[in-house]
Structure 1
Amino acid sequence: MKPDIQHIVFDIGKVLIHYDPNLPFQRVIPDAAERQWFFDNVCTHEWNLEQDRGRRWDEAEAVLIADYPDREHQIRAFRKYWPEMVSHAYEDSVAIMLALIEAGRDVTLLTNFASDTFREAQEIYPFLKIPRGVTVSGDIALIKPDLAIYETHAGSFGLDPAKSLFIDDSAANVDGARAAGWQSVQFVDAQTLKRDLAGYGIAA
């Protein structure tokens, strides 16, 4: 029998809002092969993750410019054009979150996000201000799927892990939540999420 869920925790990127660095970089680096090389070798996922862990953008840029001085313009374009990377909200997922809040459910957010870009995202997408609260990885120098970030979120918002349901698009982050004693489901699309919630007796 599944536990009685008292707390629902949403990830943000690729669950509530779209994220794709290729969107502005199709203009910055038009050649697809060169653009892929750039993301594989210069502004990599691992490099960007350090901003989610709290590294300042000026420090992050300096590290890369030292190694790739001829790519300075392209490196700085990553932060400069970041708002274009979060091009739209997933309206059906947002509708589920807002319906849960309207129904009186306790909803919070737990996200890997740089501190400054998260605040920009809140201005672009005001619905990110509606849940009871948010843990932003860049604010606390912890990232998913580290166990400590789930423990920090639970402690900050008074969650009972066993009665908390976490929704994230990343299998690794879902596994991290489960290791922390939470219930967790991997986000695929809104219809799947509705079925997953229904499996816990939650109407959305």
Structure 2
Amino acid sequence: MNVVFDIGNVLVHWEPRALYRKIFATEGEVEWFIGNVCTQDWNLEQDLGRSFADGVKALSARYPEHAEAITAYDLRWHETVLGAIDGSVQILEELSARGTPLYAITNFNQDKFKETLKRFPFLNVFRDTVVSGDERVIKPDPAIYRLLLQRNGLAAVSCVFIDDSLKNVKGAEAVGMKAIHFTGPEALRVQLTGMGLL
């Protein structure tokens, strides 16, 4: 069985609020900014391959009064990545030690992903990583899962996909993959053990 990992909030903890709690005085201000300025939809444009410089420029033109905080999303981006999720990394290492074929599909800006690879060398364990920013397609679009399968000669039924986003899990199931909704390392270990993978 091939095991296909998501990266953000499965193997590394990503939380943009962590950065903005250093910038704004109250949780309400943080939530307003994330909900109205540096939104998930705006961030997905970077995951689809738009450069952070272009994204920041466009958004700062719309919200000039927040230009400094918007720019921080790029320049201080690593403050949104709080570290490895140790229990998940341990599972990854155990799977690797058993010779399990490991792959990844991630919604990630291509430039930030290259930086993240340097920071977290364990992400180099994958035989192939499909990065949305490189491919200009994001989960849960069926095309991104099929790209991994076609590029590596894999059958969907021979893959189990792990993601913290339920819609991305459903996307994998829609192309014929088995899938696990990640809620934490402990539950993941139980599920993979039940499948005979650990």
Normalising by structure 2, we get a TM-score of 0.97
Give 3-state SS (helix, strand or coil) of 2:82's partner: coil
Aligned to 1:19: 14
- Give me the whole-angstrom Cα distance separating, in 1, the residues matched to 2:65 and 2:188: 45
C-alpha contact 2:12 2:85 (8 A) present in aligned 1: yes
The one-letter code matched in structure 2 to 1:176 is G
Cα distance in structure 2, aligned partners of 1:78 and 1:131 = 28
Q: Is the 8 A contact 2:7 2:104 kept in 1?
A: yes
Per the alignment, residue 191 of structure 1 pairs with 186
> 2:83 is matched with which residue?
88
Q: Aligned partners of 2:69 and 2:165: how far apart in 1?
A: 28
Partner of 2:124: 129
Regions of 4+ moved over 4 Å? none
Tell me the CA shift for residue 199 of structure 1. Answer: 2.4
**How do residues 25-44 of structure 1 correspond to structure 2 at under 5 angstroms?**
25-44=20-39
| Partner residue, 1:107 | 102
Distance in 2 (CA, whole Å) between partners of 1:87 and 1:124 is 11
Q: Give the secondary-structure state (helix, strand or coil) at the position aligned to 1:176.
A: helix
In the superposition, the TM-score normalised over structure 1's length comes to 0.94
Please give the alpha-carbon distance, in whole angstroms, between the structure 2 residues aligned to 1:96 and 1:68: 43
Tell me the CA shift for residue 42 of structure 1: 0.5
Q: Which whole-Å CA distance do the structure 1 matches of 2:183 and 2:63 have between them?
A: 37
Measure the CA separation in 1 of the matches of 2:186 and 2:30: 33
Residues 64 and 75 of structure 1 are in contact (CA less than 8 Å); yes or no, is this contact kept in structure 2?
A: yes
Instruction: Find the counterpart in structure 2 of residue 3 from structure 1.
Output: none
Whether the aligned pair in 2 keeps the contact of 1:28 and 1:77 (CA below 8 Å) is: no
SS at match of 2:196: coil
How many Å apart are 1:194 and its aligned residue? 1.3
Q: Secondary structure at the match of 2:167?
A: helix
The unaligned stretches of length 5 or more in structure 2 are none
- Between stretches 189-198 and 172-181, larger displacement belongs to 189-198
RMSD: 0.9
Name the counterpart of 2:174: 179
Q: Partner of 2:190: helix, strand, or coil?
A: helix
**Which runs of no fewer than 5 residues in structure 1 stay unpaired?**
1-5
Determine the structure 2 residue equivalent to 1:61.
Answer: 56
